[in-house]
Amino acid sequence: MAIIAPSILSADFSCLGKEVRAVVEAGADWIHIDVMDGHFVPNITIGPPVIKALRKITDLPFDVHLMIAQPEGYIADFVEAGANIISVHVEASTHLHRTLTEIRRLGCKPGVVLNPATPLETITYVLEEVDMVLLMTVNPGFGGQEFINAVSPKIEKLREIIDRLNLPVAIEVDGGANLETIAIMARAGADIFVAGSAIFNQPDYKAAISRLRTVVDR
């Protein structure tokens, strides 16, 4: 069954705890947390103290998407804050293999993320180290952007590679999800679907999540 991971980037930050509780009650599977540093991406969001505070609200997996330069220096902080899955960008980590194995060593599940323009070949030699590959379907930095359709064949190709090698690696997709684009991503072979504005910009989170779920579980 597909996993739906609401991205709290589109939540109302003035009552973040309440917002997280609301999506938990609305049937979210994971909570997707976007960490941005104003260097790797042109936006700044939240860090470990906020994640630590949110950890008190739910036991659902925290899917922490690091959009920060040199993520290797901060892995322990995010583990300690209560992350379950930590994903780092190929484009941000020079010693990617080391960073990914460090995430596992510290007790979290490692994920590797690719920007839309980054080819799949860049992760060939780390595929066995990760639990998840996150394919960006927008350029990271902001919620509410338009889905980049050119990434669809990349999702298909990755599905093919993972199935051929029989690896226990899930495919997550992030950016521009709505009822139409999430169907495209599901057909291409994604397993985990991040959705920010498609959930938080709706009046009824439960209805929004179940509509998305109906499409991806079809």
Asked if 114 and 120 count as a contact pair (C-beta separation under 8 A), the reply is yes
Residue 174 within binding range of Zn ion, rule CB under 5 A? yes
Q: Give the residues across from 114 on adjacent strands.
A: 135
Contact present, 30 and 195 (Cβ < 8 Å): no
| Binding letters toward Zn ion, positions 92-131, x by CB under 5 A | ----------------------------------------
Alpha carbon distance 88, 49 (integer Å): 19
Length reported for the chain: 218
Do the annotations mark residue 143 as ligand-binding?
A: yes
User: Is 65 a binder of Zn ion (CB under 5 A)?
Assistant: yes
- Could you give the angle at the alpha carbon of 15 between the alpha carbons of 11 and 16, nearest 5°? 55
Q: Which is nearer to ligand DX5, 38 or 107 (CB)?
A: 38
Place of tokens 């008190």: 56
Q: Which residues fall within 8 angstroms of residue 96, CB to CB, at 6 or more apart? A: 88, 90, 112, 126
Task: Report the partner that residue 10 touches, choosing among Zn ion, ligand DX5, none (CB closer than 5 to 8 A by kind).
Answer: ligand DX5
The distance of closest approach from Cβ of residue 5 to Zn ion in the complex, given in angstroms and rounded to an integer, is 9
Which is closer to Zn ion, CB of 122 or CB of 145? 145
Please give the order of strands across the beta sheet that includes 132-136.
3-6, 192-195, 170-174, 132-136, 109-114, 85-89, 62-67, 31-36
What CA–CA distance (Å, rounded) separates 170 from 37? 26
- Quick note: the x/- pattern for ligand DX5 over 179-208, rule CB under 6 A, is ---------------xxxxx----------
Answer whether 63's CB lies under 8 Å from 88's CB. no
- Please work out the total of residues on this chain that contact Zn ion, with binding judged by CB under 5 A: 3
Active site residue 34: yes
Q: Is residue 37 a contact point for Zn ion (CB under 5 A)?
A: no
Write out the binding residues for ligand DX5, residues 8-47 only, by CB under 6 A: 9-10, 32, 34
Residue carrying the six token digits 């579980």: 217
174 catalytic per annotation: yes
Applying CB under 6 A, the residues found at the interface with ligand DX5 are 7, 9-10, 32, 34, 65, 138, 140-145, 174-177, 194-198
Question: Binding site for substrate, residues?
Answer: 7, 65, 141-144, 174-176, 196-197
Just list the catalytic residues: 34, 174
